[in-house]
């Protein structure tokens, strides 16, 4: 009995290592790369790099010497002194009080970007035209201190690529400070465009919306899911503004052509596969360091081989389920997710403890990519529809009428290659939708759960027209 207890851990470790060796050999034979280093993007000349600017260099993290010879990672410039801090700095009591006097419903706000978003929502939802105008003006006033940063971003967007220096050698401890700043900038640009709609400043709305699209287009889809999701958020904001401008009939022909051409170059699924492979490489870095603190706990070391094999197989099965496009079937993804959940239960959870922490919510990430890609395609179709209306005076009865004058062909839904649904209403307006993740046509009706129901092209609420 004592001998069994003594030899048991060795046997488990040996069998686990054999399982990982077999999995690694199979993946390498398929031409898969399992190291994060294989997915780190190469450097580019500063003249071509959107991030090669002092305001971005201020937030780059590096090792800073500390007490007792120890060093810690931190930004080049302290957060409160960085140029981007203007977006995150809390409002003074006087500023907040002034806003509350004008708009009593606003109780608090984290920072300028958050307040601008709150004011934008208030402007969109208000039925009072004077309050709507006042809220839109307050958005621009709130974001005025950020004008120099936004102006500099506008200039930097003339550069064709973006590579932010990330210390990928830190593995899961690597920091991505640019992601939060991109998110804040995107929100600020979107709020300014929304305010411009209400204030009837079409050129300002176009400039900020187009900058959102340009930003999404040059962002490097880094070798992680975080890097992949950052441009998706920016793209979604741009699409919302484009579609609201179409619903308001404010865009002109050339602006619509510009949007349509730019949207046509945005692709998410190839970068998604790369991000999943990079995520796998980052996870393998964690497994390789499992012998070192703070990961050198006995259960982690004991089941490391089984755990790493499970982790790599799961990601490969996800990649196989994605396929190579241009359309894909969500059903294999659903089945794989169910299998992963089953492996997280009971005794099997001990064999995949680290995997359960490292494996991201693949289904959610893939669904977000599919939904965003469909929104991009539908935004392009909506631009073509609006161009048709500008010339003919009414929307077409069928999408086929857009070919070849406004579209070279009718795009298909990413979900299983289904056609997009289109319906011209008696009012003269149109409905455009994807049947969504579940592949069932609900006639354009979305479900509260993002993965179920249809994915419609959404016009703005009626109050924005007033």
**Contact (Cβ atoms closer than 8 angstroms) between residue 32 and residue 277:** yes
Residue 7 lies in a domain: no
pLDDT at 40: 87
> H helices of 103-128, where?
112-125
Domain residues for the domain of 377 are 12-41+259-466
In the numeric block, which tokens belong to residue 224?
């992680």
Look up residue 220 and give its two tokens: 């490097």
Is 27 a member of any domain?
Answer: yes
How far apart CA 465 and CA 244 sit, in angstroms, is: 10
**CA-based Rg of the chain, rounded to a whole angstrom?**
25
Distance CA 379, CA 392 (A): 20
Of 194, 219, 244, the residue at which a domain comes to its end is 219
Considering the domain architecture, whether residues 360 and 397 belong to the same structural domain is answered as yes
In a domain, 91, yes or no: yes
* Structure tokens belonging to residue 195: 């305010």
Shared-domain flag, residues 195 and 74: yes
pLDDT of residue 41: 86
> Cα–Cα distance between 465 and 249 in angstroms, integer?
10
Which of 163, 268, 257, 152 lies closest to 210 in space, CA to CA? 257
In this structure, how many other beta carbons lie within 10 angstroms of the beta carbon of residue 163? 20
276 and 165 within one domain = no
Asked if residues 453 and 436 have their Cβ atoms less than 8 Å apart, the reply is yes
Count of helix runs (H) and strand runs (E) in the chain: 18, 5
271 and 311 together in one domain: yes
Backbone torsion region of residue 31, taken as left when φ is above 0, otherwise alpha when ψ lies between -120 and 50, otherwise beta: left
| Listed residues 219, 246, 280: the one ending a domain | 219
Dmax over Cα atoms in the chain, in whole Å?
88
Query: Which of 168, 202, 219 is the C-terminal boundary of a domain?
Result: 219
Question: Per the domain annotation, does 248 fall within a domain?
Answer: no
Which residue is associated with the tokens 């239960």?
345
Strand-pairing partners, residue 21, are none
- Angle at which helix 202-218 crosses helix 147-156, to 10 degrees, equals 60
Q: Check whether residue 110 and residue 181 sit in a common domain.
A: yes
Residues 194 and 286 in one domain: no
Are 208 and 351 within one domain?
Answer: no
* Residues 34, 130 share a domain: no
Give the tokens for residue 221: 């889809």
Q: Indicate the pTM of the whole model.
A: 0.90
* Token output for 437: 């993740």
Phi-psi region of 68 (alpha: psi -120 to 50; beta: other; left: phi over 0): left
User: Residues 36, 120: one domain?
Assistant: no
Of the candidates 150, 135, 132, which has an alpha carbon nearest to the alpha carbon of residue 208?
A: 150
pLDDT of residue 271: 85
* Same domain? 272 vs 213: no
Q: Is 187 inside any structural domain?
A: yes
250 domain-assigned: no
**213 & 263 share domain:** no
Q: For residues 326 and 401, state if they share a domain.
A: yes
Question: What are the mean pLDDT values of the chain's consecutive 10-residue runs (466 residues total)?
Answer: 50 80 96 92 93 97 78 89 93 87 84 94 90 95 96 97 88 86 97 97 98 92 81 94 94 98 89 89 83 54 80 92 81 82 58 70 84 94 98 97 96 88 94 91 76 75 43
Examine residue 5 and state whether it is found in any structural domain, yes or no: no
Query: Is 241 a domain residue?
Result: no
The number of distinct structural domains making up the chain is 2
Cα separations (Å) of 92 from 80, 96, 110?
15, 6, 11
Using an 8 Å Cβ cutoff, are 438 and 453 in contact? yes
The C-alpha angle with vertex 379 and arms to 378 and 383, in degrees rounded to 5, equals 115
pLDDT reported for residue 21: 93
Strands 71-75 and 61-65, by their bridges, are antiparallel
- DSSP-assigned beta bridge partners for residue 162: 219
């Amino acid at each position: 009995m004592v001998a069994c207890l003594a030899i048991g851990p060795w046997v488990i470790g040996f069998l686990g290592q054999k399982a990982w060796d077999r999995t690694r050999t199979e993946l390498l034979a398929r031409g898969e790369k399992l190291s994060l280093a294989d997915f780190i993007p190469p450097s580019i000349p500063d003249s071509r790099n959107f991030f090669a600017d002092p305001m971005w260099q201020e937030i780059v993290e590096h090792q800073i010497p500390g007490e007792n010879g120890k060093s810690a990672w931190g930004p080049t410039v302290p957060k409160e002194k960085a140029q981007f801090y203007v977006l995150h700095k809390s409002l003074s009591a006087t500023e907040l009080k002034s806003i509350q006097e004008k708009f009593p419903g606003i109780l608090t706000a984290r920072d300028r970007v958050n307040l601008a978003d709150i004011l934008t929502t208030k402007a969109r939802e208000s039925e009072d035209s004077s309050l709507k105008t006042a809220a839109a003006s307050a958005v621009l006033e709130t974001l005025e201190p950020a004008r120099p940063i936004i102006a500099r971003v506008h200039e930097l967007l003339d550069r064709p690529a973006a590579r932010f220096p990330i210390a990928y050698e830190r593995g899961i401890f690597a920091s991505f400070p640019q992601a939060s700043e991109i998110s804040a900038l995107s929100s600020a640009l979107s709020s300014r465009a929304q305010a411009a709609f209400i204030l009837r400043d079409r050129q300002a709305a176009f400039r900020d919306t187009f900058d959102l699209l340009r930003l999404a287009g040059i962002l490097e889809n880094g070798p992680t899911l975080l890097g992949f999701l950052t441009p998706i958020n920016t793209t979604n904001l741009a699409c919302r503004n484009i579609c609201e401008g179409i619903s308001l009939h404010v865009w002109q022909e050339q602006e619509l052509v510009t949007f349509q051409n730019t949207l046509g170059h945005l692709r998410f699924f190839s970068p998604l596969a790369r991000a999943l492979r990079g995520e796998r490489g980052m996870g393998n870095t964690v497994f390789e360091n499992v012998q070192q603190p703070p990961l050198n706990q006995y259960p982690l070391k004991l089941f490391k081989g089984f755990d790493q094999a499970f982790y790599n197989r799961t990601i490969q099965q996800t990649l196989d389920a994605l396929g190579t496009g241009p359309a894909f079937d969500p059903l294999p993804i659903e089945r794989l997710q169910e299998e992963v959940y089953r492996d997280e239960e009971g005794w099997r959870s001990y064999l995949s403890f680290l995997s359960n922490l490292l494996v991201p919510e693949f289904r959610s990430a893939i669904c977000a990519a599919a939904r965003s890609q469909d929104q991009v395609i539908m935004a392009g179709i909506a631009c073509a529809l609006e161009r048709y209306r500008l010339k003919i005076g009414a929307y077409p009865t069928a999408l086929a009428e857009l070919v070849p004058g406004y579209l070279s062909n009718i795009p298909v839904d990413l979900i299983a290659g289904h056609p997009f649904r289109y319906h011209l209403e008696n009012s003269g307006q149109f409905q455009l939708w994807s049947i969504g993740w579940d592949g069932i046509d609900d006639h354009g009706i979305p479900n509260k759960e993002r993965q179920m129901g249809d994915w419609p092209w959404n016009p703005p609420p009626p109050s924005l027209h007033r």
